[in-house]
Amino acid sequence: MKVHFIQHEIFEAPGAYYGWAKERNHTITFSKVYENQPLPNTAGNIDMLVVMGGPQSPQTTNEECPHFNAKAEIALIQKTITAGKAVVGVCLGSQLIGEALGAKTENSPEKEIGVFPIQLTKDGLKDEKVNHFGSILPVGHWHSDMPGLTPESKILATSIGCPRQIIAYSNLVYGFQCHMELTPEVIELLIAEDEDFLTNSTTHKFVQKPDEIRSFDYTVMNGKLFRFLDKLAISK
C-alpha cells in the first residue's frame, strides 16, 4: 500500500500514523509543505492519503502562510476521494476534508489541549472501524476548531469540549479532530511550540499544563489507531 502524508509543520508530525505505515511495510511518501515540498499532481500513486494538522485553518491565505495552499490541498483531497482511495484527516486535515466535500469549518465550543476522553456515539458504536475504541477512550487534543458536516456524514465520537471528534464522511474517508497519533516525541515538539501558552493559561478549562500532558501513556491510544488503520486498509 502507498501511504502519502501531507505535513504542514515540523511540530505536527504524523507520529503513530507514520509508525503504523512503517511497521506494516507500506510505501511512504511525504509532502512536507513547510519545506516547500510539492503536493502530488494526481491521486494515481496514492492508496491512502493522510492529511495532518497545523496552526492554519482552511481559510488561511497564501499571504498569511506562504507554504500553505488550502485550495491545492482541498483539490487533491477531492481527487483522492473521487478515485476511491482512503483519506484520513487529523485536526486541520479533518477540516480540509469537510471543506473538500462542501462543509464549512466551525469554531469548537472549547479549546482543547491535552488528554481528555472522547465518547463514541450510537453511530460510532456501530462503525466497525472504530467500535473497538470502546465507549470512552482518553485521547490527545490540540485544537480550537472542528470540521464541518455533510448530509451524509456521521459523527462517531464527541467530547465534553467538542461535539465533533471523529467523523465518517464515507466508508473510506474519516476526519479525526482528536490526535490519536501523539507519541512522547510528538508531544515534546508541540509543547515546545506552545509552552508559554500552556504554562500561563488560566481561562481554558480543557487546557492542561505541560507536565500533565507528558505524564500520559499514549501506547493504548496508538494501538487502537493502528487497528483502525488496519481495518481501513482492508476496506480499501
- Which segment of 163-172, 198-207, 222-231 scores lowest on mean pLDDT? 198-207
Place of cell 505505515: 21
12-37 pLDDT per residue, tens: 999 999 999 999 999 999 999 999 99
User: 70-82 and 92-100 are packed helices; what angle lies between their axes, rounded to 10 degrees?
Assistant: 70
| CATH number of the domain enclosing 127 | 3.40.50.880
Q: How confident is the model at residue 235 (pLDDT cuts 50, 70, 90)?
A: confident
Structural domain span for residue 159: 2-235
Q: Which residues, at least 6 apart from 126, have a Cβ–Cβ distance to it below 8 Å?
A: none
C-alpha cell at 119: 465518547
Number of domains present in the structure of the chain = 1
Strand boundaries in the chain, DSSP class E: 2-7, 27-32, 48-51, 86-90, 106-120, 136-146, 154-158, 166-168, 173-176
The grid coordinates of residue 156 equal 462517531
Integer CA distances (angstroms), 30 to 36, 38, 167, in order? 11, 9, 24
Q: Please write the tens of the pLDDT for every residue from 80-96.
A: 999 999 999 999 999 99
Instruction: Give the mean pLDDT of 193-211.
Output: 94
**Lateral strand order in the sheet of 48-51:** 27-32, 2-7, 48-51, 86-90, 173-176, 166-168, 154-158, 106-120, 136-146
Per-residue HEC secondary structure of 87-117 comes to: EEEECHHHHHHHHHCCCCCEEEEEEEEEEEE
C-alpha cell read off for 35: 519545506
Give the model's pLDDT for residue 236: 65
Whether pLDDT at 190 is above 80: yes
Three-state DSSP state, 217: coil
pLDDT category at 202 given cuts 50, 70, 90 is confident
* pLDDT tens digit sequence for 123-178: 999 999 999 999 999 999 999 999 999 999 999 999 999 999 999 999 999 999 99
Percentage of the chain surpassing pLDDT 70? 100
Q: Lowest-confidence range among 24-28, 98-102, 118-122, 196-200? A: 196-200
Query: pTM for the full model?
Result: 0.97
105: cell is 469549518
C-alpha cell at 80: 483522492
Nearest to 180, CA basis, from 145, 208, 221: 221
